[in-house]
Amino acid sequence: MVGPNGNESSATYFILIGLPGLEEAQFWLAFPLCSLYLIAVLGNLTIIYIVRTEHSLHEPMYIFLCMLSGLDVLISTSSMPKMMAIFWFNSTTIQFDACLLQMFAIHSLSGMESTVLLAMAFDRYVAICHPLRHATVLTLPRVTKIGMAAVVRGVALMAPLPVFIKRLPFCRSNILSHSYCLHQDVMKLACADIHVNIIYGLIVIISAIGLDSLLISLSYLLILKTVLGLTREAQAKAFGTCVSHVCAVFIFYVPFIGLSMVHRFGKQHDSLLPVILANTYLLVPPVLNPIVYGVKTKEIRQRILRLFHVTTHTLDP
């Protein structure tokens, strides 16, 4: 970091300050955040358990949902335990290698989730626009390969990240403005030219998030064109199968795009907004996705009720 003479030195650790300006309230804010994390883990693990144990749900749509739930658990777990340690035990120090690992995990898992959301959009496109070909196009082996491709793509996109971060000297500060390590946050502490890191970040966002969101939008334009030619009953059924996925897409992409825009164009001293967006981006999708799919998907909802031994009679007033 910064030596006694003010000379630049290699990074050995960073300080995570949690929520800037809300340090005194962090201890109490940790309780609802921890509750949301537990809800996210329980909800997503429930989805995974139901899809795995119910053979009737071994279809592409539910297998992709299972992948999405698994990624949500991993993404939230990559940041929340350390965040709770900061809020409850003031454990703000994170070693450089641990920070690098957390950064790599968060960004690569996010890339994987974007790929899975794209695969789910493709599944809905084939199911609605080419229903007779759905069983032959999206076979279980092919779905498995798509899942593996999502993992490979996420890892490959982030493989240069450790190299680009380790080459940087740090001499300004070792204090990060977020509750966990992000590439945008870490590179701003460097006292060297970071244009390579900026260009790399833009390439990753365009080739992953940008391309995926564009293809998802295109798939839904084609779906909408097909659905408008169906009967009203068929339209309602088709829209019903897409609502959950559309919600998952907005839940994932809106905070991500908002966080990227704030980091690039926001005021440098407005540090609380990007922190809130960053925490929203990592916590809200894992919490809401199982709720949305549990409420909007009849097959999932029925099996959740059966799993917890709840009948519709007990829910009546």
Q: Note the pLDDT of residue 267.
A: 57
Q: Note the pLDDT of residue 311.
A: 44
DSSP code at position 228 = T
Does 316 map to a domain?
no
Q: Note the pLDDT of residue 317.
A: 45
The residue with tokens 């992000």 is: 182
Does 306 map to a domain?
no
CATH number of the domain encompassing residue 267? 1.20.1070.10
Does 62 map to a domain?
yes
Q: How many domains does the chain have?
A: 1
pLDDT in tens, 83-94: 899 889 888 899
Does 311 map to a domain?
no
**Pairing verdict, β 13-16 and 175-176:** parallel
Least confident range from 72-86, 118-132, 207-221, 225-239: namely: 225-239
Does 6 map to a domain?
no
CA atoms in the 13 A half-sphere facing the CB of 257? 13
State the distance between the two ends of the chain, measured CA to CA, in whole angstroms: 62
CB atoms within 10 A of CB 138: 20
DSSP code at position 7 = -
What's the rounded mean pLDDT across residues 168-180? 82
pLDDT in tens, 246-287: 999 999 998 888 777 776 665 554 567 777 777 888 888 999
Question: What rounded mean pLDDT belongs to the chain?
Answer: 85
CA angle 205, 210, 153 (to 5 degrees): 65
pLDDT in tens, 122-165: 999 999 999 899 999 999 999 999 999 999 999 999 999 999 99
Does 277 map to a domain?
yes
The runs of H, that is alpha helices, within 55-139 are 60-77, 80-89, 96-129, 134-137
Question: Domain span at residue 21?
Answer: 13-298
Q: In which order are the strands placed within the sheet that holds 175-176?
A: 93-95, 13-16, 175-176
Does 219 map to a domain?
yes
What's the rounded mean pLDDT across residues 55-61? 88
* pLDDT > 90 fraction of the chain, expressed in percent and rounded: 43
Output the CA torsion sign for 295, 284, 220, 64. Answer: negative
Does 303 map to a domain?
no
Phi then psi for 231, rounded to 5 degrees? -70, 165
What's the rounded mean pLDDT across residues 285-306? 85
Phi then psi for 269, rounded to 5 degrees? -90, -10
